[in-house]
Structure 1
Amino acid sequence: MRFMGAAGVALRHFRQSAYTRYGAGFPGICKFLYYSLFRVNTFIVFSCGRGETSKPDMPVELRIVRGDHHQLGLVRGRYALPGEFYCDLSHNVHDYFMGLWNEFPAYVHWIFPPGKASRFLELGPGCAEVNYMLTLPDYRGRHLCSLILACTIHELMAENVQRIYCVVHDANIASIKAVQRSGFQEMQRVRSIGPFNFRIKVDAA
């Protein structure tokens, strides 16, 4: 049942997800399918530990919402959003950070704790993974990803999370720069063939 629910969410938001990642129209959909189903892809595993970053000053236009599902429901009811805004339904995770720019949805990512099914990582105690990071096209260039990631690191470390991970495709240069600006460092690289890959164990050390 959970798989069917995840598949349903993915199909409902397929076109919007393809657009936000690879551009509009048929070329964007073809590229989305190629990277998702057929290409040999390389992903970079990044990690960040205690004392490796600090909380930045935020622009006045940016408001960060964490874990408020009433607010998330309001946003989803008002705007056509890609699947990254629905990970509570598709992946059964519930802690998220959403960036509102002048009260319009601009950015989202989700926090996977140990025990939650992650595509690439098997998280040990004291770890968390930031997953499904997405800045909507109209709000790119404002460093929202790095700002909200730095805020996330600060909050999770205050909650006694000892090490935080994220995984980024090696062709996603903007996201690589964003996670590095926020304090993450490259740990290793993993490969996938379309949707197939091995998971690696990570810990808080």
Structure 2
Amino acid sequence: MTPRTSTTGSSRRTAALGVVAVTFTVGVAGVGCASASADRPAAGVTAGDAAPPAPGDDAVPTTDAPPVADGLAGADEYTQERSDAFWGAGYYMEDAFVLAELWDVPLLEAKGRAGQLLLDEQPVPVAPGSSLDLTDPETIEMLGMEKYWDGGYTHEDGASLAALWDMDVYEAKATAGRMLYDGQPLPIPPSGTPES
């Protein structure tokens, strides 16, 4: 599989972006709720009973969260650079789940840590794609579709193959992807530029 430098055209990247968007939305909502509740006195205490802050106590409260070990990226440090390094190395969401379980951290933090390790040219304890179930037909279809798009084949090529094979376009692209995954040539060359 060719490493990607872009997040365009990949279903796993689209899914990952969805996870990031949902995580961001939930995080923002949580901050808003925490901010609103911080201004309210505790239950059973009236606003007049609440103790004012101590003079000069302008410091931001600290959390009890443990420091990130060995300077590895936390969830809040899942940057675009780390994301590009992770996905560009050929990792899949399945690999991210295995890393999260191995390190006992949230999924986003696992991807950030792995991305930073890659940027630092350090080994990641899970190889790209090693967590995929190659006995699962859906996984094989996904890998075949990657081969199809990475090979420079387009939607128009799929329509040409569908006419040639007398099937619908989606089925033609899936069939072509499986053939490419198995190392078989297609009857037409790609009309796009293959990824290098």
Normalized per residue, which structure has more helix?
2
Query: Which has more strand, going by share of residues?
Result: 1
Q: Same fold (TM over 0.5)?
A: no
TM-score scaled by length of structure 1: 0.22
**Greater gyration radius:** 2
